[in-house]
């Protein structure tokens, strides 16, 4: 059995899937052994088909059609099958021989049937298995060349009716529906290989449309409809290549499809057909795309198609025109245009578009910060540090935060004017705070802490207050020079945490206790800390995890 062991299964699946797989061993049924493979069904959320491949000295591989397995993972269902196989290893030679004997016996029986007997058998099986009947009907229609019949069968395959309750296919039935619908891809490809590529092209387009119509009524959490859509797209491409369609007609369909809801299912890229379209077809493609965009300049699909064609053709003017026709209120579109112009060596125009985005903004606080960063960087790199400072100053005034302050600080230092700018910022925030703007007071505290201006920070928190995170940062910064002040903060924060439970709160409390101990050491009062911890332990003794953490840290 290729040396299959529990250790190998654990290594392949990982600890979590391996342990979960143990619980599914009793759900394994229908085990089949062959030369180098083991197959079975495993019942989970639904029944899944599972196969293990044992490749001699190489590590085993496996497939499972559960969602996790379809992503290429060695899932819990594979673990369950592997554990089942290990348990039955002693019986493996007999099982393999029995499987070979059954196969030979079945072949011999089928060969011995008369024509009428074989026909009766197939009819009997078709009556029991609807999917088998449909597959054979498709083959018969393809063999007879009856396009109308093939179209009818494909429509049946894509019909959600047999699987839907109240017009919607629930998750439990979606897999079965996808399995049926996937047969349409096989049928279309078989038409192409049998020399009927033009018919295959037409049916692929029709099937794509039908799938798009029902997609919103199917719970496709596992993405199976997307796989079918991709399959239909590939079948269309193969058929088109074999048929050699009219370039203008193909261009018209590609544009129509790109603007349709079905495009989300198939992800067809019109440029994949460029060699089939040729110059005439590409000209028609571009022309129809422009017509569609002019009719709806703000449509996402229309813009995406135009941008795709423009980028492929290195048509920077068209790219800019598409962006400029639908400028975003936050000026992000101006940034996109600037970057496109940069890539096309149009630095002057790029700067003009970026500046225009700032200039036309009613409120700098609503502007995409990436545009601010782009323009400030451009000013710095082109020897315009004063303009970078002005931009950062205006942005800070509009959006007062620690980040915009830090950005202003960096620009002003580069322009050798930081001290002046800093005084203006602090004066602005203090004036706001005095008018009752609490946000400005908190930002002022953040700024002073970021600048390590501890004394000013103490004055500010005393006047305007602070939140616990700011108090903690201030205490941490003050501990070397103002241990008594820091100690008062730590003890107040610790008192709050003693009323909480949970490991996170305990870890925070222990961290504060270490800081409190350091403050007492600096103050020369270690005895006071010992008394504090003794009292704390007596009160909190029922919190075993807290006691353990304190023991680990020597508290």
pLDDT at 56: 61
- State residue 400's pLDDT score: 93
Query: Which pLDDT score is estimated for 3?
Result: 66
Are both 517 and 544 inside the same structural domain?
Answer: yes
3-state secondary structure of 412: helix
Name the domain count of the chain: 3
Poorest-pLDDT segment among 91-105, 236-250, 301-315: 91-105
| 22 and 99 share one domain | yes
Higher pLDDT, 212 or 93: 212
pLDDT score of 57: 64
pLDDT digits (tens, 9 = 90+) for 230-282: 999 999 999 999 998 899 999 999 999 999 988 888 989 999 999 999 999 99
Residues 431 and 484 in one domain: no
**Residue 356 backbone dihedrals phi, psi, to 5 degrees:** -65, -40
Instruction: Report DSSP letters for 155-172, one per residue.
Output: HHHH--GGG-BTTBB-HH
Backbone angles phi, psi at 42, to 5 degrees: -130, 125
Is the per-residue pLDDT at 183 higher than 90? Answer: no
CA dihedral in degrees (186, 188, 192, 193; nearest 10)?
Answer: 20
Q: Are residues 437 and 519 in the same domain?
A: no
The residues pairing with 39 across neighbouring beta strands, listed in sequence order, are 32, 51
Q: What pLDDT is recorded for position 307?
A: 92
pLDDT at 300 over 60: yes
* Residue 244 counted as domain residue: no
Of the candidate ranges 3-17, 139-153, 203-217, 309-323, the one whose mean pLDDT is the lowest: 139-153
d(CA 409, CA 413): 6
Residue 423 CB neighbour total at 10 angstroms: 10
Residue 335 belongs to a domain: no
456 in the same domain as 433: yes
CB neighbour class for 374 (10 Å; exposed up to 12, middle 13-18, buried from 19): buried
pLDDT number for residue 130: 74
* Residue 533 pLDDT > 70: yes
Same domain, 38 and 97: yes
512 in the same domain as 431: no
- Is the distance from CB of 215 to CB of 168 less than 8 angstroms? no
In a domain, 448, yes or no: yes
My answer on whether 19 and 87 are in the same domain is yes
Mean pLDDT over all residues of the chain?
90
Residue 131 within any structural domain of the chain: no
- The answer on 515 and 547 residing in a single domain is yes
C-beta separation of 549 from 505 below 8 A: no
496 with 457, same domain: the answer is no
What is the per-residue pLDDT for 55? 66
Residue 21 within a domain: yes
Quick check: 277 and 289 in contact, CB under 8 A?
Answer: no
Model pLDDT, residue 394:
95
Residue with the larger pLDDT of the pair 269 and 106 = 269
Give the pLDDT confidence score for residue 330 in this predicted structure: 94
Residue 492 confidence class, pLDDT cut points 50, 70, 90:
very high
Considering the domain boundaries, does residue 279 fall inside one?
Answer: no
> Which of 432, 466, 500 is the endpoint of a domain?
466
pLDDT, tens digit (0-9, with 9 covering 90-100), for 403-441: 999 999 999 999 999 999 999 999 999 999 888 888 889
Residue 507 structural domain: 471-552
pLDDT at 98: 75
Indicate whether 489 pLDDT > 90: yes
- Report the pLDDT averaged over residues 45-59: 80
- Contact yes or no for 408/389 (Cβ under 8 A): yes
DSSP state of 367: S
Assess if residue 499 is contained within a domain: yes
- My answer on whether 450 and 534 are in the same domain is no
Tell me the average pLDDT across 171-175: 84
Q: Given this model, what pLDDT does residue 174 score?
A: 87
pLDDT tens string 380-403:
999 999 999 999 999 999 999 999
Identify the domain boundary among 401, 434, 466.
466
Q: How far apart are the first and last CA of the chain?
A: 57
Would you call 29 helix, strand, or coil by DSSP?
strand
pLDDT at 236: 96
Domain co-membership, 447 together with 512: no
What share of the chain has pLDDT > 70, as a percent? 97
**Crossing angle of the two packed helices 183-193 and 224-243, in degrees rounded to 10:** 10
Q: Where are the alpha helices (DSSP H) in 296-437?
A: 300-312, 316-324, 332-343, 347-359, 369-381, 385-398, 402-414, 418-434
- Boundary of a domain, candidates 466, 495, 526: 466
| Inter-residue contact 188 to 235 (CB < 8 Å) | yes
On whether residue 504 sits in a domain, the answer given is yes
């Amino acid at each position: 059995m290729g040396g299959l062991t529990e250790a190998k299964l654990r290594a392949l699946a990982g600890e979590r899937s391996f342990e979960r797989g143990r619980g599914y061993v009793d759900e394994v049924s229908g085990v089949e052994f062959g030369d180098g493979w083991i197959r079975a069904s495993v019942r989970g959320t639904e029944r899944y088909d599972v196969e293990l491949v044992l490749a001699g000295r190489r590590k085993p591989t496996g497939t499972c059609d559960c969602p996790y397995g379809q992503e290429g993972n060695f899932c819990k269902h594979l673990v369950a099958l592997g554990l089942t196989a290990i348990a039955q290893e002693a019986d493996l030679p007999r099982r393999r021989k029995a499987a070979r004997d059954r196969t030979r016996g079945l072949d011999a029986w089928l060969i011995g049937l008369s024509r009428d007997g074989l026909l009766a058998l197939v009819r009997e099986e078709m009556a029991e298995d609807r999917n088998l009947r449909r597959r054979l009907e498709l083959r018969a229609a393809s063999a007879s060349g009856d396009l109308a019949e093939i179209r009818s069968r494909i429509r049946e395959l894509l019909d959600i009716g047999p699987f839907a309750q109240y017009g919607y296919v629930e998750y439990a039935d979606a897999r079965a529906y996808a399995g049926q619908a996937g047969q349409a891809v096989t049928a279309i490809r078989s038409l192409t290989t049998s020399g009927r590529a033009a018919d295959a092209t037409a049916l692929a387009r029709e099937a794509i449309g039908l799938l798009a119509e029902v997609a919103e009524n199917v719970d496709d959490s596992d993405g199976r409809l997307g796989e079918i859509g991709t399959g239909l797209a590939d079948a269309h491409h193969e058929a088109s290549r074999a048929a050699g369609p009219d370039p203008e007609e193909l261009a018209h369909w590609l544009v129509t499809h790109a603007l349709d809801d079905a495009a989300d299912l198939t992800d067809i890229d019109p440029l994949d057909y460029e060699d089939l379209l040729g110059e005439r077809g590409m000209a028609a493609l571009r022309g129809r795309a422009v017509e569609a965009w002019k009719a709806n300049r703000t449509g996402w699909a229309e813009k995406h198609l135009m941008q795709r064609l423009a980028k492929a053709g290195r048509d920077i003017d068209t790219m800019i025109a598409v962006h400029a026709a639908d400028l975003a209120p936050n000026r992000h579109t101006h940034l996109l245009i600037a970057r496109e112009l940069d890539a096309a060596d149009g630095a002057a125009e790029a700067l003009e578009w970026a500046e225009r985005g700032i200039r036309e903004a009613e409120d700098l606080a609503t502007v995409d910060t990436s545009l601010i960063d782009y323009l400030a960087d451009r000013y710095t790199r082109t020897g315009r540090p004063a303009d970078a400072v002005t931009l950062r100053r205006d942005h800070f005034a509009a959006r007062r935060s620690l980040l915009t302050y830090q950005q202003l600080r960096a620009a002003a230092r580069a322009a050798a004017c930081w001290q002046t700018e800093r005084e203006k910022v602090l004066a602005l925030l203090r004036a706001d705070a005095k008018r009752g703007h609490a946000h400005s007071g908190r930002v002022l505290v953040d700024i002073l802490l970021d600048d390590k201006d501890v004394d000013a920070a103490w004055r500010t928190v005393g006047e305007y207050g602070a939140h616990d995170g700011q108090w903690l940062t201030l205490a941490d910064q003050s501990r070397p020079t103002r241990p008594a002040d820091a100690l008062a903060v730590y003890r107040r924060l610790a008192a709050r945490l003693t009323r909480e439970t949970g490991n996170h709160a305990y870890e925070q409390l222990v961290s504060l206790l270490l800081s409190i101990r350091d403050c007492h050491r600096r103050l020369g009062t270690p005895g006071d800390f010992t008394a504090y911890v003794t009292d704390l332990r007596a009160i909190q003794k029922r919190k075993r995890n807290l006691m353990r953490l304190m023991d680990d840290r020597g508290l």
